Amino acid sequence: MAKTTKRRRGPQQTAKVELDVPVRVGQTVEVEITGLNHEGAGVGRIEGYTLFVDGALAGERVHARVDHVKKNFGFAKLTKVSIASTFRSQPPCPLYDRCGGCSLQHLAYEEQLRHKQQIVRDNLRRIGGFQVEGDGAITVHPTLGMSEPWRYRNKAQVPIGEENGALVGGFYAEKSHSIIDMHECLIQHQKNDEAVATVKKAATDLGIKPYDEVRGSGLLRHVVVKVGVKTGEVMVVLVTTEETIPQRDKLVEAIRTEVAGVTSIVQNINPDKTNVIFGKKTVTLWGSDVIYDYIGAIKFAISARSFYQVNPAQTEVLYNKTLEYAGATGTETVIDAYCGIGTISLFLAQKSKHVYGVEIVPEAIEDANRNAKLNGVENATFEAGPAEVVIPAWKEQGIRADVIVVDPPRKGCDEALLTTILEMQPERVVYVSCNPSTLARDLKVLAEKYEVREVQPVDMFPHTGHVESVALLVYKGFGYAETTFGAILNHPFF
């Protein structure tokens, strides 16, 4: 065993802590890769010690340099592939090895989809304790992917810096705040690239200084671009430290002239020393306050700060699956917890008697009501507040949900909400998740009264390690013998 020394700093002294592990920082090791973790790093073992190797693939034998060690696992960088996987692919992005944004470009896309299915299965088994193979197992379907998994992002959030007197903008290098200047990103809509390039050049020409987060000086912090994929409308948001922009009219004119389809130019003022992108104040410099886009037949107004899914094509796939699992026939009452700006709610309203949406962010509820009005939807009610408070209040008012849909953030559902669902006992629960581990954790709680029938992974973010899923849960009190969703719909209850 090699002993690696780490320094643990206390308030008054520095202590040396020796880790009894078989590798040391800076050492180059040869290791066989047996799998991938949820972030897409290769998983290998040396004398039983787990080593995560960025850039390595399952089935490969590689050389890697150890960068960091902990008691039970360590991290390493790939230096050489001795035996390559048949699924290894040449990343088309020239910044791939520096950016860190698309950690799976080196893995063939079809294998990415299989990997994401396996990630969901592994979490359900390991964290949820569910059976995923054999009789009585949860069905985890193959991941629904894209026919063209490039240029899918409709939003760019680009930090701005300076290099040799010119503005640069791009993504941060992995695990740093060093900006990598980017001329194009292969997962961004092309209009995003065009708009960012236009702002960088115009701001450089006009002498507008970027924000320096170390010194706390400068003006332009971020450029945010949003694209309505189906409408072609473009919004450009300039995030600044102050309200006054030198030669503002010339900057606006340059954006209007050079960016095709631009209908909205907005300024957001964020004077705080923070990593949060947006500040509290937003003003429209030119054009509309919003742009519009469609998911399926539903039209959405998108403001500078409103949340909107970044991959609308796959969002439609995800929401159609949610609608299918909800089993709505036009007679059901549906509650949509974590409803946001009403995206899922308005989808569900197409085939439901009434949809009640709850969201803790008041501004999102304002957007939800506006989007309902925009689409002429009258069978949707939205209320701001914690779901675990609002939903029981609705119950006291006599509102009984046939279906509850949850689409929580990465941390999963609030424990109180899970308790509320178990108490309300809707016939079905549809759980939309962006985090397989918290999905498995929450399904384990709901399994007290619900049978988890099936889970459908959806690839919302190709070439990254992220995977969305939608799960169907049916209340055990019905005593159904059928095991397929089709059988549920054919049951006399429906």
Q: Say whether 434 is catalytic.
A: yes
Residue 207 tokens read as: 């002498």
Can you give the C-alpha Rg of the chain in angstroms? 25
Residue 361 tokens read as: 């962010």
Q: How far is CA 465 from CA 99, 220, 475, in A?
A: 14, 31, 32
Place of tokens 């969703």: 485
Q: Is 211 annotated as a binding residue?
A: no
User: How wide is the angle at C-alpha 407 spanned by C-alphas 290 and 480, nearest 5°?
Assistant: 140
Residue in 111, 237, 431 with CA at minimum distance from that of residue 119: 111
**What is the spatial distance between Cα 171 and Cα 180, in angstroms, rounded to a whole number?**
6
- Helix boundaries (H) for 412-454: 415-424, 436-446
Residue in 218, 222, 198, 202 with CA at minimum distance from that of residue 210: 218
DSSP string, 237-249: EEEESSS--TTHH
- Cβ proximity of 430 and 454 under 8 Å: no
Q: Is 131 annotated as a binding residue?
A: no
Q: Is 450 annotated as a binding residue?
A: no
- Cβ proximity of 443 and 431 under 8 Å: yes
**What is the spatial distance between Cα 139 and Cα 382, in angstroms, rounded to a whole number?**
33
Q: Is 407 annotated as a binding residue?
A: yes
59: DSSP letter: T
3-class DSSP assignment, residue 474: strand
Q: Which of 93, 99, 102, 434 is catalytic?
A: 434
Burial class (CB in 10 A: 0-12, 13-18, 19+), 45: middle
Residue 202 tokens read as: 């115009």
**What is the spatial distance between Cα 338 and Cα 364, in angstroms, rounded to a whole number?**
10
Q: Mind telling me the catalytic residues?
A: 434
**Binding site residues, as ranges?**
309, 338, 359, 407
**Binding site residues for S-adenosyl-L-methionine, as ranges?**
309, 338, 359, 407
